[in-house]
Structure 1
Amino acid sequence: MTEPRVRPDPAFALLELYETALPEVFGYLLSRCGNRTIAEELTSETFLGAVSACRKEYAPPVSTGWLIGVARHKLADHWRRKEREERGLRLVHEGEPDVTDPWDAQVDALRARQVLETLGAHHQAALTLRYVDGLGVPEVAAHLGRSVHATEALLVRARAAFRRAYEEKEGRDV
């Protein structure tokens, strides 16, 4: 009688990668959310989610790049949760922005980070995925669970909100 073959747990590959991937995943999340506590929570969620995902029958090979992809999804989920919470706490009424006015000012990176943190979660998510991660509008739409047209409109509103807040902050800092 032959002994049954046991498939090794694919999570062991993740465990081997953990030491080298942890700083990269954490750094990725911290640079995008700007909050150490949130980045730590999201890093934890990323690795827990990765354990579940790598155990699925047709899971891709475990790598640092794959973990960064999982982290990107966890960050988008975080922004969606934050947006729902904010929406539940207050009613937001935004006018349509004037898109005919070009904005050619130089953007200071530190001020931009501070301004980005003051925006709503949905604007933070859209702007970060589009301009920090460099994703195209269809990819941003997929991450946010929106249509391409809705994402384009969101990006227009987010850029206008960012510009207003940036210029307001610039006026206060002078």
Structure 2
Amino acid sequence: MAVAIKEALDEADWPDAAEYPIPIQRNESAEREASRNRKPSPQPSGQDLFPPSPRDPFERDRRPECRPTLGPPRGGNEPHNECADKIPGNSFPGFNVFINGKHYDALVLARRTLWEVKTDNFEKHSPRSRNFFVSVKLPELQREAKLARECGYDFVIGVRSEAHRTALKLADPSLHVVIMDWC
């Protein structure tokens, strides 16, 4: 399966894909053993086959701004970058992903989900500061969610505390906010 994913990604027309090759581990002895033990199967008649899938997994996006472009993490905040790299299923740890004019912290290709990570010590601030913080950050988070949806991606905001999650959900219940218990 990893080989098929690697081949699909290699065929994708990503401008920066050649700069950031995706390492795929292969167990060649296991592949040889599996092919040696495989029994020949009859050729299909063609009537029971699924229609061919597009070679490019982002073909349906056709708009160039919706195709992921890899880039280095921005901002220089190492704890923030480590949290982003550890997002379950992160397809490109160590990189940000530029889509639709926005740099996102992570992309989970298998779920077509873009992530924005917030590592602030939210619970250590006074209630007044928390409210101010949410009112300042909320419009940008809503814009990021809209840009992701325009390109067919889900959008998740990762935070470190229940207080931060609750404040964001109260401000906008439509946001998908999760606590990053891995940070």
Establish whether TM, by shorter chain, passes 0.5: no
What is the TM-score of this pair, normalised by structure 1?
0.30
What is the TM-score of this pair, normalised by structure 2?
0.29
Give the number of the structure with larger relative contact order, counting CA–CA contacts within 8 Å between residues 6 or more apart. 1
Q: Relative to total residues, which structure has the larger helix share, 1 or 2?
A: 1
Q: Relative to total residues, which structure has the larger strand share, 1 or 2?
A: 2
